[in-house]
Amino acid sequence: MGGLARRVSYIKAFKHRSNMEVPTLLVDAGNLFTDDRFSASQLPPEVMTRNKWVVKGYGAFRHDAANISYLDLPYLAELLKKDGYDQRIADYPFIERLVSANIHPMDDQYREPAPYVIKEITLKRGAPDKTLKVGIIGFSEPKPAGPNGKETVYAGFRIDDPFEAAKKILPELKRKTDFIVALAYMDIGSTQRLATENSEIDTIIAARQTSNMDEPQHFNRATITYAYNQTKYLGELRVYMKGDGSPENQINRYVALDSTIPDDVPAQDVVTQAHTEFTADQNASASSAAAAPKSPALLASSDSPYVGVETCAGCHEKENQVWASSRHAHAMATLEKRNQQFDNECVKCHVVGFQRGGFQSLYTTPQFANVQCEECHGPGRQHANNPGKGYGFMATPSGCVQCHKEPNDPDFDFAVYWPKIQH
């Protein structure tokens, strides 16, 4: 579900259905860019390529604004470097529509991001011929660090208190505009606080990798909605206006971007070009990694709490045969067909022990690729060292739906799926 090509296709249909009478803004609430494998102030070449194509794609299919979240900062640093900035803006004008009211560069090699953008739209309904100035402003929470900690400095940028920034900038934006949309990369409590403390805001569109489609909340005069993780469902906020040009009501819908919505051809061309370039970069990285000596991570895999399927099969041969003929055993191949084997958002459900001491990457820990025994039964190191009862409890179906959740697998039915892997 989801993807740029379906998103564009739906928006075109939406505008045509209303005879092009309805101005439609397109915004992103944050986490546009990947910071995967960011280290030593650098992103790997293939990650840079992915992010560059987001800038290109969002520019080509014009997004009116996008919020800068803490996750976006490593790549934002590349975009906002003063060196070469004018040429970059000429090539990718979308950069000027990246907004944040509370993120600032730590030194003067970077430009300040704009705190907000103002978009003028002319209404044909509600208050015909009225020109409405819509202000779109961005906020991000600090980067989480540890169980309760927060990092307010990341990748050369400072993340200030969003509530103080809001108090400072919103009155100015209110004077300039008729309607304010705040994009907030924040948890629910913080988003509610932002609405409660700032009566200037008409709408808050928030995000934080959530997969809930709750009804909008209303705090102060603001409507709060949440963007769906990865935009698998497109948020559609309809705004109704009174004859005097003031807002009357807002209604939120989530649109499933499934196969009912065909790909937009020009948008799919952009996605295909991105894919081709990204694949070439991946292959180059894979070649250099293959030529390098074995990495320390691989050599140290005996320290992992996971042992891998080969060890399990030593005693559980019958169960291993069932697994080997299941789709779990070929989960990584599914991603490889689409060149998504380095996309951690996807990888986490196609391997064992991702970010829990198991799979790291295909370069360093290939032995933990695919959905192996320990992904469901738990880390097996102790059991392998000291075999006995008490290991292997599996919570079903609650364990399964960690990955087989609705947007990933809308047809998942435990009663149908379980017999396919029963052992």
Partner 1 sequence: MRRKLSLVIAATFITALAVINHGCSRSGSDVGDNDDALAVDLNDSKIQERLGVDDGYAFAIMYGADIHGSLETCG
Contact in structure between 278 and 50 (CB atoms under 8 Å): yes
Question: What residues does 339 pair with on adjacent strands?
Answer: none
- Least Å distance, CB 348 to partner 1, is 9
- From 77, 132, 352, 369, residue interacting with partner 1 (rule: CB under 8 A): 132
Q: Pick from 109, 199, 209, 287: which binds partner 1 (CB under 8 A)?
A: 209
Backbone angles phi, psi at 246, to 5 degrees: -100, 155
Question: Do 255 and 233 contact (CB within 8 A), yes or no?
Answer: yes
Judged by CB under 8 A, does residue 114 bind partner 1?
A: no
Least gap, CB of 308 to partner 1 (angstroms): 23
Q: Considering only 32-40, 107-115, 315-323, 363-371, which stretch makes contact with partner 1 by CB under 8 A?
A: 32-40
Size of the site for partner 1 (CB under 8 A): 99
Q: Nearest approach, Cβ of 123 to partner 1 (angstroms)? A: 5
For partner 1, the closer CB: 307 or 352: 352
Note whether 159 and 142 are within 8 A (CB): yes
Dig out the tokens for 405 from the structure.
């959740």
Strand order in the sheet with 157-159: 103-105, 157-159, 153-154
The minimum distance between CB 325 and partner 1, in angstroms, equals 21
Q: Do 197 and 167 form a contact (C-beta atoms < 8 A)?
A: yes
CB of 75 to partner 1, least distance (A): 8
CA–CA dist 119, 131 (Å, integer): 10
CB 93, min distance to partner 1, A: 7
Applying CB under 8 A, does 28 fall inside the site for partner 1?
yes
CA distance 270 to 414: 37
Q: Which residue among 77, 99, 201, 239 contacts partner 1 (CB under 8 A)?
A: 239
Distance CA 176, CA 292 (A): 57
- Which three-class secondary structure state does DSSP give residue 143? strand
List, as own/partner pairs, every contact residues 105-108 make where C-beta atoms lie below 8 angstroms and the sequence separation is at least 24, other chains included.
105/80, 105/156, 105/157, 105/158, 106/153, 106/156, 106/157, 106/158, 107/156, 108/82
Smallest separation, CB 22 to partner 1 (Å):
6
* Segment contacting partner 1 by CB under 8 A, of 100-108, 271-279, 355-363, 411-419: 271-279
* The binder of partner 1 chosen from 177, 203, 367, 370 (CB under 8 A): 203
Single out the segment in contact with partner 1 by CB under 8 A; choices: 57-65, 79-87, 360-368, 383-391. 57-65
State the angle between helix axes of 265-291 and 4-17 in degrees (0 to 180), rounded to the nearest 10. Answer: 170
Q: Which of residues 325-384 bind partner 1 (CB under 8 A)?
A: 334-335, 337-338, 340, 343, 345-346, 349
Q: Which pairs from 337-341 meet CB under 8 Å and 24+ separation?
A: 339/275, 339/278, 339/279, 339/282, 341/282
Tell which one of 80, 194, 195, 270 touches partner 1 (CB under 8 A): 270
Minimum CB separation from partner 1 for residue 281, in Å? Answer: 13
Is the alpha carbon torsion for 175, 180, 185, 187 positive or negative?
Answer: positive
State the sign of the Cα–Cα–Cα–Cα dihedral 46, 51, 53, 54: positive
Give the contact letters, 162-191, x = binds to partner 1 (CB under 8 A), - = no: -------------------x---x------
- Restricted to residues 385-414, the positions that interact with partner 1 (CB under 8 A) are 408
Dihedral of CA 24/186/39/83: which sign?
positive
Compute CA distances 101 → 85, 91, 158, 359, whole Å. 20, 24, 11, 37
- Contacting residue, 81, 89, 118, 126, with partner 1 by CB under 8 A: 126
Contact (CB, 8 A) for 232 and 177: no
Least distance (Å) between residue 40 CB and partner 1: 19
Cα diameter, the chain: 77
Q: Is 255 helix (H, G, I), strand (E, B) or coil?
A: strand
We find the least distance from the C-beta atom of residue 32 to partner 1, in angstroms, to be 6
Give the contact letters, 272-311, x = binds to partner 1 (CB under 8 A), - = no: --xx------------------------------------
Stretch that binds partner 1, among 11-19, 107-115, 188-196, 312-320 (CB under 8 A): 11-19
Of 110 and 185, the one with the shorter C-beta distance to partner 1 is 185
41/302 with CB nearer partner 1: 41
Position among 141, 178, 200, 263 found at the interface with partner 1 (CB under 8 A): 263
